[in-house]
């Protein structure tokens, strides 16, 4: 299968294959090193990093639902300094050459910009993904991603401080995701990634209590895949910049659906929790699919859905 | 404040792995309580007392995630898992028959610490809390540590793990809600006078969180170090998802890799698990 070319390009960044990790489902890779040859990933997208440590939300933070799970982790992270010392240093030493996209989180504009400024001199960072779509924090997060002007403002502010690839991760919890995608494209985003989790809720009928301490949380997993594929298709049809598709990808076939809908690359999220080898299994499956279908370059699949 | 990943995490002799395992036996021990025996050579040879395995009990819409189970015993190529039927996952487990295959991830987590030189350990089990204490009792006895087990259950039939504990422990002290075996009342009621005897140098406990919290207080009063094993909902089991966090004096830690066993004095107990609210 060496004849299949799996390479894709996102904002000038060449990836060996289209399979990335979805932020928050893969930590910074270290936890998966027992299971996965990390150098086989297209790119790693780190857990969200903020300027100062965030403690996250109260427990319970997770509830399983039909074909999915709700989470309200709340972007718990040790802050950009600890991230640099522990995670980036580990990645540079253990998986040199692996493209590292840092997911950037903030409560306000200065928070996002501050994280990028703190990492601009780090040679181990390949690009940034702005998290303007986390439903589990009170300030920042999704508040930026559900308003076109706010989304454009945070994108422009970050664009002004970095020349590195800048990906903006979009929220599905909007009436019109295309208009948000167009706004961040106009503000200087190099790519968009979608979808983040869908806001959801589950209730324990024996206690009458919500299953999450924070009452509502983000739904992920196979349950959301059709919504995600639809949004990727709509956005990819409307913007010029590449789209990174995600939302319930468990198999190579799921990944191919996203690429046919218009995604240049894909991210694997909840599947990592079920099978820690999901990412490489999907890389292998993509190659097998292309081989079996006579597709020479995986990028030929991008947007190839036939809606005629 | 420290959050998230602690560099001093999990000292593991053997890294976890995915293993295709086979059901050898699935025995009903009491109403809603079962013992599952799995042929799992890799896990059996590498699991340490207090660690757990993460099982994909079934496939389908209700079974996206794995379910974590303590390893009760490991012998030869087999591991034993005690379970209580509480939800869809454990109901599916109860339906398993010899020959059924399952996907196991493990062994996972940081188990019980057995310091050099301890002479007499008190193990306090509440209900299915006996699960991670079985292997520990065997390990301690094998090292020549004297073991006393205090176990609580609603009734004699539900004193899970009794046979093993009676075999390896110097003393087995039961407590039942209905008085059908041992003292009538809670296990914490028999724990306190045992600690007052002053012969223990370590307490290991597992059971309902409120019970563990009381045992921790009793141990501290008796000036005996105590280890607790905490149960949390978890998704990945390997430290990535941050669902299973425990608040401790050392920051927010992960039950799946930093625990499930924690030194009791480090745990910042959830106010909802206060003895006053039960």
Whole-angstrom Cα distance, residue B83 to residue B92?
Answer: 11
- Which residues are paired to B30 by β-bridges? B33
Mark residue B163 as left, alpha or beta (left: phi above 0; alpha: psi -120 to 50; beta: remaining): alpha
Q: In this predicted structure, what is the pLDDT of residue B274? A: 62
User: Is B2 in contact with A78 (Cβ distance < 8 A)?
Assistant: yes
Contact status of A251 with chain B (Cβ, < 8 Å): no
User: Is B18 in contact with A273 (Cβ distance < 8 A)?
Assistant: no
Query: Inter-axis angle of helices B209-221 and B187-196, to 10 degrees?
Result: 20
Confirm whether A205 is domain-assigned: no
On the 0-12 / 13-18 / 19+ scale of CB atoms within 10 A, A227 is middle
Looking at the partner chain, which of A35, A47, A62 has a beta carbon nearest the beta carbon of B235? Answer: A62
Whole-angstrom Cα distance, residue A280 to residue B14?
Answer: 22
The ranges of chain B with pLDDT < 70 are: 1-13, 272-278
Residues 37-66 of A with CB under 8 A from B: 47, 53-56, 59-64, 66
The complex's ipTM works out to: 0.94
Residues in chain A, total: 308
Determine which of B5, B12, B102 to mutate to test the interface with A (most A C-beta atoms within 10 Å).
Answer: B5
- Which residues are paired to B216 by β-bridges? none
Choose the catalytic residue: A134, A148, A158, A290.
A134
Q: In this predicted structure, what is the pLDDT of residue B139? A: 97
From the list A265, A268, A264, the residue with the least C-alpha distance to A249 is A268
Structural domain containing residue A16: 8-57+73-198+218-301
Chain B residues with beta carbon closer than 8 angstroms to that of A59: 232-233, 245, 270
Residues 3-32 of A with CB under 8 A from B: 24-28, 30-32
Long-range contact pairs involving B270-274 (C-beta distance under 8 Å, separation at least 24):
B270/A59, B270/B209, B273/B209, B273/B210, B273/B213, B274/B210, B274/B213
Distance in Å, alpha carbon of B233 to nearest chain A alpha carbon: 7
Q: What are residue A129's phi and psi, to 5 degrees?
A: -120, 120
Looking at the partner chain, which of B2, B16, B243 has a beta carbon nearest the beta carbon of A71? Answer: B243
Q: In this predicted structure, what is the pLDDT of residue B273? A: 60
* A134 contacts A196 by C-beta, under 8 angstroms: yes
Confirm whether A212 is domain-assigned: no
Contact status of B61 with chain A (Cβ, < 8 Å): yes
* A189 contacts A241 by C-beta, under 8 angstroms: yes
Contact status of A233 with chain B (Cβ, < 8 Å): no
Contact status of B65 with chain A (Cβ, < 8 Å): yes
From the list A166, A93, A88, A158, the residue with the least C-alpha distance to A122 is A88
What is the CATH classification number for the domain harbouring A279? 3.20.20.70
Confirm whether A2 is domain-assigned: no
Contact status of B240 with chain A (Cβ, < 8 Å): yes
Looking at the partner chain, which of A27, A60, A67 has a beta carbon nearest the beta carbon of B64? Answer: A67
Q: In this predicted structure, what is the pLDDT of residue B14? A: 82
Distance in Å, alpha carbon of B53 to nearest chain A alpha carbon: 13
Chain A residues with beta carbon closer than 8 angstroms to that of B234: 62
Tell me if residue A134 is catalytic. yes
Confirm whether A165 is domain-assigned: yes
Chain A residues with beta carbon closer than 8 angstroms to that of B238: 31-32, 34-35, 276
Confirm whether A67 is domain-assigned: no
Number of inter-chain CB pairs under 8 A, A vs B: 108
Note down pLDDT in tens along chain A; length 308 residues: 458 999 999 989 999 999 999 999 999 999 999 999 999 999 999 999 999 999 999 999 999 999 999 999 999 999 999 999 999 999 999 999 999 999 999 999 999 999 999 999 999 999 999 999 887 777 677 788 899 999 999 999 999 999 999 999 999 999 999 999 999 999 999 999 999 999 999 999 999 999 999 999 999 999 999 999 999 999 999 999 999 999 999 999 999 999 999 999 999 999 999 999 999 999 999 999 999 999 999 999 999 999 99
User: Is A86 in contact with B7 (Cβ distance < 8 A)?
Assistant: yes
Q: With b meaning 16 or more CB within 10 Å and e meaning fewer, what string describes A193-226?
A: bbbbbbbbebeeeeeeebbbbbeebbbbbbbbbe
User: Is B5 in contact with A87 (Cβ distance < 8 A)?
Assistant: yes
The alpha helices in chain A, defined as continuous H runs, are: 80-82, 89-94, 109-119, 142-145, 148-159, 177-186, 225-236, 252-261, 271-274, 278-292
Total of domains in chain A? 1
Determine which of A59, A91, A103 to mutate to test the interface with B (most B C-beta atoms within 10 Å).
Answer: A59
Cis-peptide, bond into residue B107, ω within 30° of zero:
yes
DSSP state of B127: G
Domains in chain B: ranges and CATH: 17-108 (2.40.30.10), 120-273 (3.40.50.80)
Chain B residues with beta carbon closer than 8 angstroms to that of A214: none
User: Is A273 in contact with B17 (Cβ distance < 8 A)?
Assistant: no
* Per-residue tokens: B274: 């206060």
Contact status of B13 with chain A (Cβ, < 8 Å): no
Whole-angstrom Cα distance, residue A266 to residue A18?
Answer: 6
Confirm whether A207 is domain-assigned: no
**Residue for token digits 């406990």?**
B205
Confirm whether A118 is domain-assigned: yes
Chain A residues with beta carbon closer than 8 angstroms to that of B1: 53, 55
**Residue for token digits 């046919």?**
A260
């Amino acid at each position: 299968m060496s004849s299949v070319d799996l390479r894709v390009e996102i904002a000038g960044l060449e990836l060996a294959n289209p399979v990335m990790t979805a932020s928050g489902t893969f930590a910074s890779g270290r936890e998966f090193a027992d299971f996965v040859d990390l150098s086989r990933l297209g790119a790693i997208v780190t857990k969200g990093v903020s300027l100062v440590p965030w403690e996250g939300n109260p427990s319970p933070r997770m509830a399983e639902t039909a074909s999915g799970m709700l989470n309200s982790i709340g972007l718990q992270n040790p802050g950009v300094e600890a991230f640099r010392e522990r995670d980036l240093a580990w990645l540079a030493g253990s998986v040199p050459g692996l493209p590292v996209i840092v997911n950037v989180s903030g409560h306000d504009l200065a928070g996002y910009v501050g994280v990028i400024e703190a990492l601009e001199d780090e040679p181990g960072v390949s690009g940034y993904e702005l998290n303007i779509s986390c439903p589990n924090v009170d300030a920042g997060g999704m508040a930026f991603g559900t308003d076109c002007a706010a989304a454009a403002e945070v994108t422009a502010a970050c664009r002004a401080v970095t020349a590195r690839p800048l990906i903006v991760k979009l929220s599905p919890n909007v009436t019109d995701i295309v208009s948000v995608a167009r706004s961040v494209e106009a503000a200087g985003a190099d790519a968009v990634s979608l979808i983040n989790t869908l806001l959801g809720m589950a209730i324990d009928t024996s206690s009458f209590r919500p299953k999450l301490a924070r009452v509502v949380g983000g739904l992920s997993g196979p349950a959301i895949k059709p919504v995600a594929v639809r949004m990727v298709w709509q956005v990819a049809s409307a913007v010029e910049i590449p789209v990174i598709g995600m939302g319930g990808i468990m198999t190579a076939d799921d990944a191919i659906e996203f690429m046919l809908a218009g995604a240049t690359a894909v991210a694997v999220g909840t599947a990592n929790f079920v099978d820690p080898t999901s990412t490489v299994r999907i890389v292998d499956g993509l190659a097998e699919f292309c081989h079996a279908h006579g597709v020479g370059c995986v990028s030929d699949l991008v947007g190839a859905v036939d809606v005629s | 404040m420290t959050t998230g990943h602690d560099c001093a995490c999990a000292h593991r002799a053997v890294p976890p792995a995915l293993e295709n395992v086979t059901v050898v036996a699935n025995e009903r021990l009491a109403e809603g309580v079962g013992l599952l025996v799995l042929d799992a050579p890799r896990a059996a040879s590498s699991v340490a007392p207090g660690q757990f395995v993460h099982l994909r009990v079934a496939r389908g819409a209700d079974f996206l995630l794995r379910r974590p189970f303590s390893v009760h015993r490991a012998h030869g190529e087999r591991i034993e898992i005690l379970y209580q039927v509480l939800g869809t996952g454990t109901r599916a487990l109860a339906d398993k028959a010899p020959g059924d295959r399952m996907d196991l991830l493990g062994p996972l987590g940081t188990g019980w610490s057995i310091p050099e030189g301890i002479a007499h350990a008190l193990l306090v089990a509440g209900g299915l809390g006996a699960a991670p204490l079985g292997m520990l009792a065997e390990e301690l006895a094998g090292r020549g540590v004297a073991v006393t087990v205090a176990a609580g259950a609603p009734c004699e039939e539900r004193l899970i793990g009794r046979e093993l504990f009676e075999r390896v422990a110097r003393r087995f002290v039961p407590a039942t809600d209905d008085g059908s075996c041992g003292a009538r009342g809670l296990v914490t009621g028999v724990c306190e006078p045992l600690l007052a005897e002053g012969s223990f140098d370590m307490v290991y406990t597992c059971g309902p969180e409120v019970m563990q919290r009381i045992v921790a207080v009793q141990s501290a009063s008796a000036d005996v170090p105590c280890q607790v094993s905490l149960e949390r909902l978890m998704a990945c089991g390997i430290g990535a998802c941050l669902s299973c966090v425990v608040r401790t004096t050392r920051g927010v830690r992960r039950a799946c890799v930093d625990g499930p066993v924690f030194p009791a004095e480090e745990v910042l107990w959830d106010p909802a698990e206060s003895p006053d609210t039960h």
